Amino acid sequence: MAFFLQLAIVLYSKDYPNLINMIQKIFKLYTIVYLIISFNNQNLLAKSICVKNSTLINKKMNIDIEYPQINVPSKLNIAINKLINEEKSFYLKYLNYNYPHKNTQEVYQNSSLNISSNIAYQTPNFISLAVYSTNSVYGSAHGSDNVTAFNYIAAQDKILSIQDCFRPKTNYLTTIKNLAAADLARQLAKDKTFNINTISTLIEAKNETFRNFTLTRTSIIIYFNEYEVLPYFMGIQKVNIDLKSLTKYVRPEILAILHGH
């Protein structure tokens, strides 16, 4: 209170040198408070990413959803909630739009929406996970499966994109493409229904192509949804790439986070 009284006196007397000095003191005080709050918030996040599963079950509509939420307000929770709401909304709108005159209960009983998740890797400050959505719809020839991956740094409240993980202006996209194509070819080597020599031509060296990925201490796992690379009947594809083969491209700070630093 005394400080603000002094400030008022200085303003009234037009003692500009003292005014400048007081403004500098205010700025320093603000900076110190800001740093303390930021440090405490980062510590709160970094100390413990605690994951709990939330569930949403509606037996009447054949909806069974289990999804992860971490213990602090975060962009990760917001993004996962948005995904869950979009998947559920699309499912219900599709049923109601395509079968408006059908018995509602008959439609629901012959349809389903299931959402689950899998944590690929976790440290106190980092979590990497995949959310899987499976639906089957009344009257459709087949259902659909979809995976969305998230990589989250708690101390920064940041969800990583693929480009966040690699050094800019390097050849990481082409290298990932070639390694992913090689791993897919290895997995499908015994599958006579598909020509593995064409795989490399089906994978584009773009950030969007590799948007769904999870990270572990030693690897990056890329997910390709139905139709993205291979035909629908072959389902979701997953390739595992050793980070050692990408060492010269990976940002050092990402490697440090994966090792728990």
Percent of the chain whose predicted confidence (pLDDT) is above 90? 53
Please say if the pLDDT value at position 213 is more than 70. Answer: yes
Please say if the pLDDT value at position 155 is more than 70. Answer: yes
The Cα–Cα gap between 109 and 91 comes to 14
Report residue 77's pLDDT band, with 50, 70 and 90 as the boundaries: very high
Q: For residue 216, give every residue at least 6 positions away whose Cβ sits within 8 Å of its Cβ, in sequence order, or none.
A: 120, 121, 128, 258
- What is the reported pLDDT for 26? 61
Please say if the pLDDT value at position 63 is more than 60. Answer: yes
Q: Please give the average per-residue pLDDT across 14-24, as a whole number.
A: 59
135-166 per-residue burial string, b: 16 or more CB within 10 A, e: under 16: bbbbeeeeeebbbbbbbbbbbeeebbebeebb
Minimum mean pLDDT range among 87-91, 162-166, 203-207, 236-240: 87-91
Please say if the pLDDT value at position 4 is more than 60. Answer: no
Minimum mean pLDDT range among 39-43, 116-120, 187-191: 39-43
pLDDT in tens, 167-208: 999 999 999 999 999 999 999 888 777 777 788 888 999 999
Domains and CATH numbers, the chain: 2-47 (no CATH), 51-159 (3.30.565.40), 162-258 (3.90.640.20)
Structure tokens at 33: 């408070």
Considering only CA atoms, give the Rg of the chain.
Answer: 26
- What is the reported pLDDT for 35? 41
- What is the reported pLDDT for 41? 45
Number of H helices, E strands in the chain: 7, 9
Half-sphere exposure of 186 (CA within 13 A, CB side): 10
The Cα–Cα gap between 50 and 45 comes to 10
The Cα–Cα gap between 80 and 25 comes to 43
